[in-house]
């Protein structure tokens, strides 16, 4: 009888104080799992999408909390560019071994690499994440917090991924070679990263690697444009030379075209020119006299 009175008194006390028998619900959204942490530690089970009853606060002011873990696949971007870092003055481009336009030397290349990842479905690895990661708060949810794939990636594998990308891409000559061997590079990165993640027992699964936006230093781009322009001018001169060899009167045709351009310019200015054409045989020179 005495034990029953004590039990009833405790129940009444908890009820009057909003005790642990009070229902307090939190949602587990799609693409996530949840796990409840009590004043005595983690509960064993995972909670799939739906509602979870965290119950109220006990007589000591203690309460359960829900920690959410993002388990859907997420795309993570690794950006290698100039003007990065906190002060926007760091150069994070990948340095390739060179050999651009017949020259040698290191070539900085800006590139984006996208990695598709998800949390491992293995319960032991998921429990490891809950045990080792510090979740971040969720606005307007005092008793729920969140661990994202990006947070896990940053903690366990970020620097290893960037180092591997630099090593693999740095073996190519320049951005042209990188773009030409895109599929080969993606396959190599996938294989290398899977090995490194397995070696370090990273609680993430790598699903795919995609390469994007490989671009050279602006000075190299300007040099390529200038070289292309010079090559086009040389090709144009070669075409004129070949035309003259086939037909010596080609020079007369070019003179006529030149006069047409002069005439059009004069008409636009309101001063149409008069042309006097020499008649002393093939290849005669022409000149323009403005009226």
Global model pTM greater than 0.75: no
What is the average per-residue pLDDT within 72-101?
Answer: 77
What is the average per-residue pLDDT within 151-156?
Answer: 96
Buried b (16+ CB within 10 A) or exposed e, 272-282: ebeeeeeeeee
pLDDT at 228 (0 to 100)? 54
| pLDDT tens digits, one per residue of 201-229 | 999 999 999 998 888 776 665 555 555 55
| pLDDT tens digits, one per residue of 126-136 | 999 999 999 99
pLDDT at 7 (0 to 100)? 45
| Percentage of residues of the chain with pLDDT beyond 90 | 49
Confidence check: pLDDT of 121 > 50 = yes
pLDDT at 34 (0 to 100)? 97
- 21-30, 121-130, 273-282: segment of lowest average pLDDT: 273-282
Per-residue confidence band for 40, with pLDDT thresholds at 50, 70 and 90: very high
What is the average per-residue pLDDT within 120-131?
Answer: 96
Confidence check: pLDDT of 233 > 70 = no
What is the average per-residue pLDDT within 92-113?
Answer: 75
């Amino acid at each position: 009888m005495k034990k029953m009175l004590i039990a009833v008194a405790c129940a009444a006390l908890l009820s009057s104080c909003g005790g642990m028998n009070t229902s307090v619900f939190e949602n587990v959204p799609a693409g996530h799992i949840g796990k409840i942490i009590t004043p005595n530690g983690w509960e064993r089970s995972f909670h799939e999408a739906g509602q979870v009853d965290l119950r109220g606060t006990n007589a000591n002011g203690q309460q359960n909390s829900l920690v959410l873990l993002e388990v859907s696949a997420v795309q993570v971007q690794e950006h290698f560019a100039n003007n990065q870092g906190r002060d926007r003055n760091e150069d994070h481009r990948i340095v390739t071994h060179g050999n651009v336009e017949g020259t040698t030397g290191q070539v900085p290349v800006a590139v984006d690499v996208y990695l598709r990842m998800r949390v491992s479905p293995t319960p032991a690895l998921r429990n490891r994440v809950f045990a080792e990661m510090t979740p971040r708060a969720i606005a307007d949810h005092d008793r729920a917090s969140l661990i994202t794939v990006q947070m896990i990636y940053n903690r366990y594998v970020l620097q290893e991924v960037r180092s591997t990308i630099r090593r693999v891409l740095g073996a190519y000559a320049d951005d042209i070679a990188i773009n030409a061997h895109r599929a080969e590079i993606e396959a190599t990165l996938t294989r290398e990263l899977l090995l490194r993640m397995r070696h370090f027992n990273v609680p993430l699964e790598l699903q795919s690697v995609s390469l994007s936006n490989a671009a050279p230093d602006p000075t190299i781009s300007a040099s390529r444009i200038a070289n292309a322009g010079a090559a086009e001018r040389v090709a144009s001169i070669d075409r004129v030379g070949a035309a003259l060899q086939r037909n010596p009167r080609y020079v007369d045709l070019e003179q006529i075209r030149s006069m047409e351009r002069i005439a059009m310019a004069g008409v636009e200015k309101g001063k149409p020119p008069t042309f006097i054409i020499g008649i002393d045989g093939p290849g005669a020179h022409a000149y323009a006299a403005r009226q």
